[in-house]
Amino acid sequence: MSTLPFDPLLAAIFAPLAVALAIACGLPKRFSVKLAYVGFGLPLLLALHVWFYYGTAAQTHGYAFLTSYSTGLDSLGIGLKLGLNGISLPLFVLAGIVGFAAGIYAIQSGAERLKIYLMLLLVMQGGLMGVFASVDIFFFYFFHELALIPTFIMVGIWGGRDRNYAAMKLTIYLTLGAMLSLIGLIALYVKSGAHSFDLIELRRVIAAQPFEVTVQHNIFGLLALGFGILVSLWPLHTWAPLGYGAAPSSAAMLHAGVLKKFGLYGLIQIAIPLLPAGLIQWSHPLAWLAVVGNVLVIGFVTIAQRDLKQMVGYSSVMHMGYAFLGIAAGSTLGVGGVVLLMVAHGLSVALMFLLTTSVYHRTHTFALDEMGGLAQKAPVLSALFVAATFAGIGLPGFANFWGELTIFVALWKFSPLITILAVAGVVISAVYGLRAAARVFFGPASPEFTKIAAEHPVSDLRWSERFPALILLAALMFIGFWPKSLSTALDATLSPAPAAQVGASK
Amino acid sequence: MLQHALLVLLLPLASAAVIALCLRRSGGIASILSTLTAAAIAGFALLLALNNERFSESFEWLRLGNFALSIGFKFDDLAALMLVIVGIVGLCVHVFSLGYMHEDAAKARYFGGLSIFMFSMLGIVFADNLFMMFIFWELVGFSSYLLINHWHENAAPAAASKKAFIANRVGDFGFLLGIVMCYWANGTVNFTELATKADTHALVISTAIPLLLFCGAVGKSAQLPLQVWLPDAMEGPTPVSALIHAATMVAAGIYMLCRINVLMVPDALTVIMWTGTATALYAALCAIVQSDIKKVLAYSTLSQLGYMVAAFGLGSLTFSHAHGTDTHTVVLAAGVGAAMFHLTTHAFFKALMFLGSGSVIHGCHHEQNIFRMGGLAKKMPFTFVTFTLGVAAIIGFPFLAGFFSKDAILYLAFANNKAVFAVLALTAVLTSLYMVRLWKITFLGAPRSDAASHAHEGGLALTAPLLVLALLTVIGGYTGIYPDVFSGVFDLIPEAHGSDHTVILLTSLAVMVLGAGASLTLYGCSATDSLQQKSPGLFGALTGLQLSFDRGYEYYVAKVQQRFALFLNFLEQIFLAGLIVRGLAGIVGLVGLGARALHVGRLNVYVYWFLLGIVILWIYATFNF
C-alpha cells in the first residue's frame, strides 16, 4: 500500500509544471537546470512508486490511487479526477521513464535558449503525466493539448531541416486529428446523457443504457479517424516522418515515444469499452488499412529510405500498424498486446531517436551511404544501437516481442489472412533494421565518413548520452524478461470487462 | 533436478550479463568466466542426464485473458541427449577459443557472445512448449548474428551476419504462423499436452501446421531454399562455426522436428523427406568445388543436415511381431531415432573437423585456401591424426561413429523409400569424394606456401578439445555403451536384420570405397584443382549450381524488392506528402486563418484559434448528434 502523505499522481503532474513555471518566472539558468532534474526526476520516481504499489493499492471502480478535485465546473460535469487502472498504469510509467530520459538528455544537450527549451519540455512532461492519470475525459483531452502545443513550438524553433514546413504540417494534421476526436468525445458526452465527463460515471450510465448501434458506429468512426491521424494511421501518417525528421531529439522522443500513444490509449480506454458495436463495425476497414498501409506499404517505404532519421520515423509509423491490428482484433489478448506494444514501442523509439542524434553528432550527416565503420570508433554506441534495433524488430528479451506476439496470436482469431500479411512485416523490419545498423556501424568506413572523422575526432558515447540510453534499454529488457510486471494489472483490468471481449466473439 | 536445470539455464545468462556490464575491457577475465560457465554447464548436463532424473515443470510467464505463456522445462531422454551434446561440444569450443582467440582485441565481446549463445541454446533444449522454443530460437539467431559479425570492420562478416538473420527470419515467419495456428487448433502448444491429445485422438489433424513449423527448421537448419546463409556464416571465427554452425544451433531444427513428431502427417513428412534429400545432394555437389577449408566443411554440414532432415521425413517403421497365433504390429518412430543418432555423431565428428580446421588455420597464420596448404601431416601430426578420424567417421569408415548412424539412415531409406535411398547413397559417394579430397590436398604432399611450410601445432588449449572430440568420434556410435539413460531416443534407432543388413553394409562400404578411391586417383597434391583442369565444364557447372541460389536472391533483392520499395516511396512522397498536405493547407487557407497564424512560437494566437475551434465544434456536435 502506498504510504505517501500526498497524492502521487497529482504530484507527478504538477511537479514538472511548477518547475516550468518557476523557469518562466525568470529563474537564473544554473538553478533552472538543477531544478529541471527535479522536474523530470520526480515524475519518474512517483511513476515507479505507483507501479510498485499498484498491486496492493485499494481499488475503487477498477482504479487505484483514485482522487478527485473540484474545478468549479461541476455543473458541466468536469472535475479533475485522477486514478490509474491496468491500462493507464503502464503508460503512466512509460511517460515517467521516457520523460526522464528525454529530460536529462535535453539538459545535457547544450541546446540554444536552453531555459525555454527545458520549460517547454517540462510543460510537455506535465501534460503527459496528466493524460494517463486522468479519469475525466475533459482533462484527458486538456492534458493532451497541453503537451501537444509545446511540440509544435519546439519543432518550429529548435527543429532541423525543413522545420517550418514540418511544423506547419505537424500542426495541421495533429490539430485536425485532435478536433475530430474531440467531436467524438463531445458527442459521447451529449449522447450518453450522463452530464459528466467522468469515465467511471460514463461507463455506469452507458452500461445501464447502451447507445443505439448507429450512434456507436458514427462516434466510433469519428474517434477512430481522429485518433488514427494522431497515431499516424495510413494514409494520414505523412506528418510523422517529416515531423520527427525535423524535431529536436528530446521532443521527438517525447512525442513519438509517449504523446503519440494518446490516440491508441483513447481508443482502448474510452472507445472500445463504451462503443463495442462501433468496434465491430470498423474493425475490418481499420485492420486492412493498418496491415496493407502501415505494415506493408510503409514497411517497403522504410526499406527505401536513405536517411537514418527518416528511416526511424517511418519504422515508427509501421509499428503503429501492429497497434491498430491489435485493436481491430479486440479481446483481452489483442488489446492487452497493444498496451504492451505501446509501452515497448515508446521506450524503443525514444531510444532510437536518442541514438540517432548521437550518431549524427559523430558523422555530421544522416545519409546512410555516407557512414560506415562507426563501431570501430564508438563500440558502446554501436552496441546500444544494435540492441535498440533488435528491440524494434521484436527480438525476445525486449518488451516489443511480447506486444507483437500477443497481437499476432489474437489476430489469427480475427482473420488468418491478415495475420499472415502482418507477420510478413517481421521480415521487412529485420531487413531495414539490420541494413541500417550495418551501413552505419559495420564494414569499412565510407570515404565521406573517413574525411569527417579526420576533421572531427570521433569519441564513443559520453555518459550524458549513455545514461538516458541505458535507462531506456534497462526498461525494455526488464519488461522483456518479466512481462508480468505489466500484464498482471492489464489482465485484471481487461478480463472482467465484457466490452473488450466483443471483438473476440466475431 | 529442477534447481540444476534452472542453474544450467541461468548461469550463462549471468555470465553474459557480467561480461557485458563489467568486463568489457578485461578480455582475459571474461574468457575465463565464460569457460568456467561452460564447464559448469557440461558438468551439470552430465549429472542431470546420467542420474536419470527426468522431470517437467513450468511457470507462467505472461497471461492475458485465456492466453497463457509459460516458461517450462521438459527434461526427457531427448532433451537429456541434446543437453549432453551442447554441454560437451560447448565446453570443447570454449577451451579451444581460449587458444584460438587469445590475441583478439575484442575477446570480451566474443566470450560474452558465446555465453549468450549457450543460454539461448539451452533454452531450446529445455523448452516444453512451442512459444518458449520460438523465443530461444530467435535468441540463438541473435547470438549467431553477433558472433558471425565478430570481425565487423570487414565488409564480408557484416553482410554475412545480416544475411543469416534475415534468412532465419524468413523461416521464422512460417514457424510463428505454425505455432499460432497450432495454438488455436489445439488450444495448447505444450509438447506433453499435444502428445496426450494425440494419444486420445483429440489432436487436430492438419497438413498446414507441421509444414509451417517445418519452415522454422528450413531456416535454422539451412535446408533448401534457405541454405544460402550457412556457407557465408563461415566469416565468423572458426570455433563459432564449430559450435553454432555445425554441431548445435543448426541441428536445433532437427531437434524441434523430433519434439513435434506427434503433429506430423504423411503429406508433411513427404515434403520434409524430399527437402532433406535434395539438400543433402545439392550441398554435396557444391562441396566438391570449394577451395576454402571452412567452405568445404560448411557444405558438408549442409549435406549432413539434409541427411538428418531426410531421416526424420522418412518417418516410422512398422514391424509385425508374431505372438503365437495373433500378430500385432509395432510402430517405431524410427525417423526420430535415426535423425537424432546422426545428429549426435555428427556433432562430435563435425565439431572435431571444424576445430581441426581452426587448428590448421591458426597454424598457417589465417590461410584458409587448401591449395595453399599441403604437407601439414608432418607439420601438425596431432591435428592430422584427429582430423583423419573425423574424415573417416563422416565417410562411414567401419566402426567409427558416422558408420553406424549413416547406416541407420540408409536402412530406413531402404525400407521406406528406394528413391531416397538411391539419392542418399549417391550423396554418400560424393561425401567420401570431397572429404578425402580435402584431407589429401590439405595434409599430404609438400607444403605449397610459406604459411604451410612454417605451420605448427597450437598449444594445449587447441589440442585438448581435439582429443576429447576424437575420442567421442571413435566411441560415439556404440549406443550400447551409453547407459540406459538415453534409451528413449536410442531405442528408436532402426536396425537392419538379415538380408537387409547385408545389403546396407555392402552399399555403405561400396560408396565409401568408390568415393575415396575416385578422390585419391583424381586429385593430386597440387596448387590447382584437378577437376577444374581435367573437366572444366563439370567444374563450371557445379560452381554455377552453387551460386545459382545466391544469384537468384541477389536479383530479387536488387531488382524486385528494392525497386518495389523505391516505387512505393515515390508514390508516398509525391501523392501523399505532396498532394494531400497541400490540399489540407488549402482548406486551412480557405477558413481564412492562414497557416502562418497557427505555427511557430505564437502561442497566444494558437490558443485563441484553438478555443474558437472548440466552441464551433461543440455547437456542431450538440446539434448533429
A207-238 confidence digits (pLDDT tens): 888 888 888 888 888 888 889 888 988 877 88
Higher pLDDT, B604 or B355: B355
Give the residues across from A136 on adjacent strands.
Answer: A198
In chain A, what percentage of residues exceed pLDDT 90?
Answer: 39
Of chain B residues 119-158, which have a CB less than 8 A from chain A? Answer: 131, 134-136, 138-139, 142, 145, 149, 152-155, 157-158
Distances (CA, A) of A310 to A37, A159, A295, A366, B323: 30, 14, 16, 9, 75
B301-332 confidence digits (pLDDT tens): 999 999 999 999 998 887 777 666 777 777 78
- The per-residue pLDDT for A457 is 83
Taking a C-beta distance cutoff of 8 angstroms, is the pair A316, A356 a contact? no
CB distance from B614 to chain A under 8 Å? yes
CB distance from A175 to chain B under 8 Å? yes
Alpha-carbon span B245 to B168, nearest angstrom: 13
A contacts of B153 (beta carbons < 8 Å) = 373, 375-376, 442-444
Of chain B residues 61-120, which have a CB less than 8 A from chain A? Answer: 61-67, 69
- The per-residue pLDDT for A504 is 38
Q: How far is A196 from chain B, CA to nearest CA, in Å?
A: 15
Classify B470 in phi/psi space as left (phi over 0), alpha (psi -120 to 50) or beta: alpha
Residue positions counted in chain B: 625
Nearest CA in chain B to A389: B142
CB distance from B581 to chain A under 8 Å? yes
Nearest CA in chain B to A141: B614
CB distance from B176 to chain A under 8 Å? yes
Q: Where does residue A284 rank: exposed (0-12), middle (13-18), buried (19+ CB within 10 A)?
A: middle
CB distance from B623 to chain A under 8 Å? no
Higher pLDDT, B381 or B602: B381
pLDDT value at A492 more than 50: yes
User: Picking from A20-34, A45-59, B221-235, which range would have the lowest pLDDT averaged per residue?
Assistant: A20-34
Q: Has this prediction a pTM greater than 0.95?
A: no
Q: Is there a contact between A304 and B565 if contact means CB atoms under 8 Å apart?
A: yes
Alpha-carbon span B454 to B439, nearest angstrom: 19
CB distance from A424 to chain B under 8 Å? yes
- The per-residue pLDDT for B612 is 67
B contacts of A484 (beta carbons < 8 Å) = 60-63
Strands (DSSP E) found in B55-132: 55-64, 67-75
CB distance from A406 to chain B under 8 Å? yes
B contacts of A152 (beta carbons < 8 Å) = 599-600, 606
Q: Where does residue A388 rank: exposed (0-12), middle (13-18), buried (19+ CB within 10 A)?
A: buried
Of chain A residues 189-228, which have a CB less than 8 A from chain B? Answer: 190-191, 215, 218-219
Q: How far is B22 from chain A, CA to nearest CA, in Å?
A: 13
Alpha-carbon span A365 to A384, nearest angstrom: 19
Q: Is there a contact between B153 and A164 if contact means CB atoms under 8 Å apart?
A: no
Higher pLDDT, A71 or A503: A71
Strand (E) or helix (H) holding A482: none
- The per-residue pLDDT for B582 is 53
Query: Which of B153, B565, B617 is the closest to A373 by Cβ?
Result: B153
Taking a C-beta distance cutoff of 8 angstroms, is the pair B75, B54 a contact? yes
ipTM: 0.91
Pull the grid cell for residue B169: 527470419
DSSP assigned state of A398? S
Nearest CA in chain B to A413: B184
Q: How far is A170 from chain B, CA to nearest CA, in Å?
A: 9
Nearest CA in chain B to A168: B599
- The per-residue pLDDT for B609 is 60
Q: How far is A152 from chain B, CA to nearest CA, in Å?
A: 7
Q: Which positions ≥6 away from B573 have C-beta within 8 Å?
A: none
- Closest Cα to residue B94, out of B121, B126, B73, B76? B121
Alpha-carbon span B431 to B391, nearest angstrom: 10
A446-466 confidence digits (pLDDT tens): 888 888 888 888 888 888 889
pLDDT value at A40 more than 80: yes
Higher pLDDT, B239 or B334: B239
Q: How far is B599 from chain A, CA to nearest CA, in Å?
A: 6
Q: How far is B157 from chain A, CA to nearest CA, in Å?
A: 8
Alpha-carbon span B362 to B100, nearest angstrom: 7
Nearest CA in chain A to B165: A430
Mean pLDDT, all residues of chain A = 87
Kindly give the pairing relationship between strand A63-69 and strand B55-64.
unpaired
- Can you tell me the mean pLDDT for B125-142? 94
A contacts of B152 (beta carbons < 8 Å) = 375-376, 441-443
Q: Is there a contact between B599 and A487 if contact means CB atoms under 8 Å apart?
A: no
B contacts of A171 (beta carbons < 8 Å) = 598-599, 606
Residue with cell 518550429: A156
- Can you tell me the mean pLDDT for B182-199? 89
Best of B23, B62, B617 to substitute, by most chain A Cβ atoms within 10 angstroms, is: B62
Distances (CA, A) of B136 to A273, B125, B213: 36, 9, 15
B391-407 confidence digits (pLDDT tens): 999 998 888 888 889 98
Higher pLDDT, B596 or A95: A95
Give the residues across from B319 on adjacent strands.
Answer: B330
Nearest CA in chain A to B170: A427
Alpha-carbon span A361 to A349, nearest angstrom: 18
Q: How far is B595 from chain A, CA to nearest CA, in Å?
A: 7
Confidence of residue A318 (pLDDT cuts 50, 70, 90): very high
CB pairs under 8 A between A and B: 200
Q: Is there a contact between B138 and A395 if contact means CB atoms under 8 Å apart?
A: yes
A contacts of B603 (beta carbons < 8 Å) = 149, 153
Q: Is there a contact between B64 and A333 if contact means CB atoms under 8 Å apart?
A: yes
Q: Is there a contact between A443 and B63 if contact means CB atoms under 8 Å apart?
A: no
Q: How far is A411 from chain B, CA to nearest CA, in Å?
A: 10
Of chain A residues 475-504, which have a CB less than 8 A from chain B? Answer: 483-484, 487-488, 490-491, 494-495, 501
User: What type of residue sits at position B138?
Assistant: E
- Closest Cα to residue B546, out of B252, B295, B318, B321? B295
Alpha-carbon span B281 to B552, nearest angstrom: 20
Q: Is there a contact between B64 and A395 if contact means CB atoms under 8 Å apart?
A: no
Q: How far is B183 from chain A, CA to nearest CA, in Å?
A: 8
